[in-house]
Amino acid sequence: MSDNIIELKNLSKTYKGGITAVSDFNLEIKRGEFVTLLGPSGCGKTTTLRMIAGFELPTGGEILLNGEDITKYPPHKRPINTVFQRYALFPHMNVYENIAFGLVQKKVPKDQIEKKVKKVLDLVDLEGFERRKISTLSGGQQQRIAIARALVNEPEILLLDEPLGALDLKMRKEMQLELKAMHKELGITFIYVTHDQEEALTMSDKIVVISEGKIQQIGTPEDIYNEPKNAFVADFIGESNIFNGVMTGHLKVRFCGAQFDCVDDIPEGTHITAVVRPEDVIMTAPEEGTIRGRVDSVIFKGIHYEITVVSGKNEMVIQSVHSATPGNTIGMKVDPDNIHVMIAEDNTNIFTAEINKNYNLEYNGSEIAADITGIIKGSRRLEDGSVADARGEIVDTEKVRIEVAIKPQDIVMTDEHESGIVDGYISNLIYKGDHYSYVIHTDLGQDFVVDDEYLWNMEDHVGLLMDPSKMKFRVKR
């Protein structure tokens, strides 16, 4: 028999209204593994769990259990039990009756039920609680009963859907450790759902990061933390500085307005996303840094300081045991090993625009002729020119940022550099068969890649013209 207890093959679910909650999941879960499905609210975690449990039928793909196709089996035919966030205990029954309920239904002999209930109560550390009423138990105790009730059926797989979500922080931490210990003792497979990255990192053997119905990365907690596959994972797991950049040579990468050495061998001229963890930024004297910036804020966090530094249009968050003084200029460098470079989805330029006081989109002081009510879902312009979001609240122009994407072939270079939305100097030039690919440095610390059939010279000062109808917009979190 293979090591896999569960295999999801091209599993998909589109609900009746047309929402695709799960799109083409391929996942193997080993017997005895602790696997966590991790992702923001609405990403499809619960739907996946419900399909594994049999409460929901997939619209595509299959689910194998020990190699057998169980996609269409009803829940009770699967050796799987689920623990939900809301404990779903029967309030009018005592602890014993709650745990014994399923076994009584199955007509298991009374003496066996008694033995089994005692065993699981021991396991969840609530021996002697048999006669207690549910209403007299704390949240943590109720959740343990819910777990005991699932375990009493001796499932091969235990599904846990945000089981600690309703508990306070201290209780949650305690229960995390207990669940982990329980998993070890029982040796069965746990499939756990959470949106809490710390919880996932602490407990799991394997993490499946999900966003918008798609698996983004599968790996051990270390893999996911140290080698995030894309910007979403890097952003979601732990704190990260994320920059758009471009490869400017062999093991040379440019982002944040400077060139860094890196260890990822990616072809020159490729758009990349660079991720730097706050703890990996080294503060130096201004003249010794790869980049320089002004200290904007310093917060003491107990073990370290969290220091925010502004460098051009970029912001770098640093965690250090050393403090810094707001207003001072410092240097920053990063070891090549600690710069995680990922190829951007395609060579699209991505930059962040702001909403100005007229509630129009603006970049580098120039307005972009795009209506923000078409960008922020459900928003509308009010009579005084301001814009209200779907909930009717005025959009906070200090906080809301809009990510703009535009392809290299949709940007036009002009030597009238003042007429562009932004200007800069050509710093790289690669011939790509039927066109040239240029990298344009701007003094905003943002580089653009532009495709053009004509040959320009290195160091030419150019303006970049961008047609708003060629731009794609996304509201940044």
In the complex, the residues that contact ligand ATP under the rule CB under 6 A are 15, 17, 19, 21, 39, 41-47, 195
> Is 71 or 259 the residue whose CB approaches ligand ATP more closely?
71
Minimal distance, residue 431 CB to ligand ATP, in Å: 45
> Is 41 or 325 the residue whose CB approaches ligand ATP more closely?
41
> Is 17 or 365 the residue whose CB approaches ligand ATP more closely?
17
Query: Can you tell me the distance from the alpha carbon of 290 to that of 465, in angstroms, rounded to the nearest whole number?
Result: 30
Q: Which residue's beta carbon is nearest to the bound ligand ATP?
A: 46
Minimal distance, residue 472 CB to ligand ATP, in Å: 21
Minimal distance, residue 43 CB to ligand ATP, in Å: 4
Give the tokens for residue 343: 């190829």
Asked if 240 and 316 count as a contact pair (C-beta separation under 8 A), the reply is: no
Residue type, 11: L
Minimal distance, residue 44 CB to ligand ATP, in Å: 4
Minimal distance, residue 146 CB to ligand ATP, in Å: 17
Give the tokens for residue 149: 């009730």
Minimal distance, residue 37 CB to ligand ATP, in Å: 8
Query: Can you tell me the distance from the alpha carbon of 324 to that of 342, in angstroms, rounded to the nearest whole number?
Result: 31
Compute φ and ψ for 147, nearest 5 degrees.
-70, -45
> Is 213 or 269 the residue whose CB approaches ligand ATP more closely?
213
> Is 84 or 351 the residue whose CB approaches ligand ATP more closely?
84
> Is 103 or 210 the residue whose CB approaches ligand ATP more closely?
210
> Is 15 or 90 the residue whose CB approaches ligand ATP more closely?
15
Give the tokens for residue 302: 């107990």
CA distances from 26 to 64, 446, 451 (A): 11, 37, 36
Q: Give me the DSSP letters along 367-391.
A: EE---GGGTSTT-EE-TTS-EE-TT
> Is 160 or 387 the residue whose CB approaches ligand ATP more closely?
160
Q: Are strands 252-255 and 282-284 parallel, antiparallel or unpaired?
A: unpaired
Angle ∠(136,139,145) on CA atoms, nearest 5: 80
Asked if 405 and 348 count as a contact pair (C-beta separation under 8 A), the reply is: yes
- Within 8 A by CB and 6+ apart from 446, the residues are 244, 257, 313, 314, 351, 422
- Within 8 A by CB and 6+ apart from 472, the residues are 404, 405, 406
Minimal distance, residue 42 CB to ligand ATP, in Å: 4
Minimal distance, residue 361 CB to ligand ATP, in Å: 27
> Is 46 or 311 the residue whose CB approaches ligand ATP more closely?
46
Minimal distance, residue 367 CB to ligand ATP, in Å: 34
Q: Count CB atoms within 10 A of the CB of residue 205.
A: 16
CA distances from 427 to 177, 259, 440 (A): 53, 11, 6
Give the tokens for residue 105: 């239904």
Sheet holding 422-431, edge to edge: 411-414, 461-466, 422-431, 436-441, 447-452
> Is 44 or 293 the residue whose CB approaches ligand ATP more closely?
44
Q: Are strands 258-261 and 252-255 parallel, antiparallel or unpaired?
A: antiparallel
Minimal distance, residue 213 CB to ligand ATP, in Å: 7
